[in-house]
A = this chain, B = another copy of it.
């Protein structure tokens, strides 16, 4: 039995599940697999070396699925900023179903995207950013808490999804999506019961048959010793706090950050994207690179296809919602 929400209606998709942006993972293979399974797959824009390569990747994805899919555009402080304007233009020209905008302001591009019929999902880790995005006219707002792989906030006061989602769903008028550290039907049921319209997963999609990464990484993530405590936060001192897998590389970055004034030249070789790309695609050595990972890694113990994963999550969510509502006892009056 399908779940119908503002998300499924707006995008014409079967299930209220979005695959989040995934650096060096969100290629056409990943996005098409999720879309073919009835969710919304997403190509990670900046994983492509340049805007024209993104156009080619979008077109490649169209050969792999006839269903709607999206593109993630994460705008981050960088030594050499990407050509965001051109990436944004390609997204409009190629008329993908949705753009997931993270970290930047939607104001600059929203008119162009809407004119092209592209729905805009804005990712926010604070109420302040969510309210600004609402004002700018985005279609959906994705709320990510401290457990997820973006960890907003100042050290010591990062806000958990349990509070942030409850606040967002009661304050915002735009439909809200729960994001970050999600991987099960119980969480989808909870998100819908809070008043959200769907759930975004990234870490969980790493452990699917179709994820275009080394099989040793997937197998490692399923081990019992990898649990909800297996992540940590880095780069907070550079105003770029990110939740990553806890390994020698991330712990070394934490040590450098703990020393006080951060020497970026010490961090750069550890945090280099090329190193992470090599891990995903060649070495499979999860201990040797910085890689984004939500606490949902503690909820993962198998490697299903995207179709099996999504239908399992939806069935569990339906069962949990039915069990939840059965707690309401009709009055005997």
Contact = CB atoms under 8 A, between A and B. Distances in A.
A222 interface: no
Contact of A246 (B157, B194, B295, B299): B157
B153 A166 contact: no
A330 B1 contact: yes
A186 B193 contact: yes
A77 to B, nearest CB: 21
Given A127-B227, A186-B170, A299-B163, A232 B325 contact: no
A11 to B, nearest CB: 15
B159 A162 contact: no
A190 B190 CA distance: 4
A106 to B, nearest CB: 22
Interface in A151-197: 153-154, 156-157, 159-167, 169-170, 180-182, 184, 186-187, 189-195
A299 to B, nearest CB: 6
Give the size range of A's interface with the partner.
Answer: 35 or more
Contacts of A182: 162
Copies assembled: 2
Interface stretch (A33-41, A48-56, A316-324): A316-324
A159 B295 contact: yes
A194 B187 CA distance: 6
B320 A328 contact: no
Contact of A321 (B169, B228, B318, B328): B328
A296 interface: yes
Interface string A223-249: 000011111110000000000001000
A76 interface: no
Interface string A134-151: 000000000001110000
Interface stretch (A2-10, A107-115, A278-286): A2-10
B325 A322 contact: yes
A327 B320 contact: no
Given A162-B147, A193-B190, A321 B321 contact: yes
Contacts of A187: 162, 166, 194
A331 interface: yes
A62 interface: no
Interface in A210-232: 227-232
A254 interface: yes
Contact of A156 (B126, B167, B232): B232
B127 A228 contact: yes
A298 B190 contact: no
Interface of A: 1-5, 16, 126-127, 145-147, 153-154, 156-157, 159-167, 169-170, 180-182, 184, 186-187, 189-195, 227-233, 246, 254, 295-296, 298-299, 318, 320-325, 327-331
Given A161-B162, A163-B181, A167-B228, 6 more contacts: A146-B146, A156-B254, A166-B187, A193-B323, A195-B323, A321-B321
